Amino acid sequence: MPELPEVEVSRMGIKPHAEGQVVTKLDVRQPQLRWLIPDSLYDIEGQTIHAVSRRAKYLILETDIGYALIHLGMSGSLRVLPEMVPPAKHDHVDLHLSSGAVIRYNDPRRFGAWLWQPNHSDHPALEKLGPEPLTDAFTGEYLFERSRNKRTAIKQFIMDNPVVVGVGNIYANESLFTSRIHPQRQAGLLTLDDANLLVGNIKTILETAIQQGGTTLKDFTQADGKPGYFAQELLVYGKTGKPCPVCETLLESVKIGQRNTFFCPSCQV
């Protein structure tokens, strides 16, 4: 599933091709994604895309009259292609641009989304979201205060969007390992020092993943079709039974919140 770094890499990939371009046509071949693509999305035709931004895992195409929200779901990807390239299987949406390029959305599992929101209001999908992890709003002090009296496992806590957005499964595993914090520890038992260390490592790991182009495990590719390379940097994710890179104890795994969780039983307490 694309996580925040993969979505941010996709944003950076389509941004130079989309900003300043007029949407000449919206071509929807499969309207039934996670939610039915609304007819109101066609309002984007004839509009200039002024900015390509991101909130949590949503890409936002901003115009004068509203904005399109794009979510990649579990297997979605965006490519920038010449218009004459014929669509392939699972190419569900094309956004044709005045430059002659097309932003093409491919999604084999169809768990992604294309939504539309008129100006002067916020889309419900963006309500109740926590701070972006790479901003100054996400600090150790903030995480410490939010975690007080919480019995939730710390891994599940930092993956909760109302707490902080975009810390998905891969990066939660890696950040907790680097911070030497056991993923099953209750969030309320975090000390301020723990919180400062964890927040710092979350920021560093996410920034490194973005610089590496994201993490390609199965489905994710960048807007130019290239894979992300952060998978080569993973220390514990997907490595059950392999030696810990720090102490050589065999790494273990457990399910937390229905997600596979990887950790070192010696390093992480």
CATH of the domain at 61: 3.20.190.10
Contact 155, 124 (CB under 8 A): no
Confidence check: pLDDT of 213 > 90: no
* Binding-site annotation: residue ranges for DNA: 90, 109, 150
Catalytic residue flag (residue 148)? no
CA angle at 151 for the pair 167 and 124, rounded to the nearest 5°: 45
More confident residue, 216 or 134: 134
Q: What end-to-end distance do the CA atoms of the chain give, in Å?
A: 28
Residues 119, 223: one domain? no
Q: What is the pLDDT of residue 108?
A: 95
The upper half-sphere exposure of residue 139, i.e. CA atoms within 13 Å in the direction of its Cβ, equals 5
Q: What is the pLDDT of residue 149?
A: 96
Give the pLDDT confidence of 148-189 residue by residue, as tens digits. Answer: 999 999 999 999 999 999 999 999 999 999 999 999 999 999
Find the mean pLDDT for residues 242-260: 96
CATH number, domain of 254, equals 1.10.8.50
Residues 121, 149: one domain? no
* Binding-site annotation: residue ranges: 90, 109, 150
Report the distance separating Cα 47 and Cα 208, nearest Å.
Answer: 35
Residues 54, 153: one domain? no
The single residue of 3, 6, 8, 174 carrying the catalytic annotation is: 3
The single residue of 11, 54, 57, 79 carrying the catalytic annotation is: 57
Catalytic residue flag (residue 227)? no
Catalytic residue flag (residue 203)? no
Residues 22, 114: one domain? yes
Report the distance separating Cα 98 and Cα 74, nearest Å.
Answer: 30
Q: What is the pLDDT of residue 121?
A: 75
Residues 48, 94: one domain? yes
Residues 193, 92: one domain? no
Residues 110, 144: one domain? no
With respect to residue 180, please indicate whether it lies within any of the assigned structural domains. Answer: yes
Q: What is the pLDDT of residue 217?
A: 38
Residues 30, 119: one domain? yes
Which domain range does residue 65 map to? 4-126
Residues 153, 122: one domain? no
Catalytic residue flag (residue 259)? yes
Largest distance between two CA atoms of the chain = 59
Task: Tell me the pTM.
Answer: 0.86
With respect to residue 79, please indicate whether it lies within any of the assigned structural domains. Answer: yes
* Count of structural domains within the chain: 2
With respect to residue 132, please indicate whether it lies within any of the assigned structural domains. Answer: no
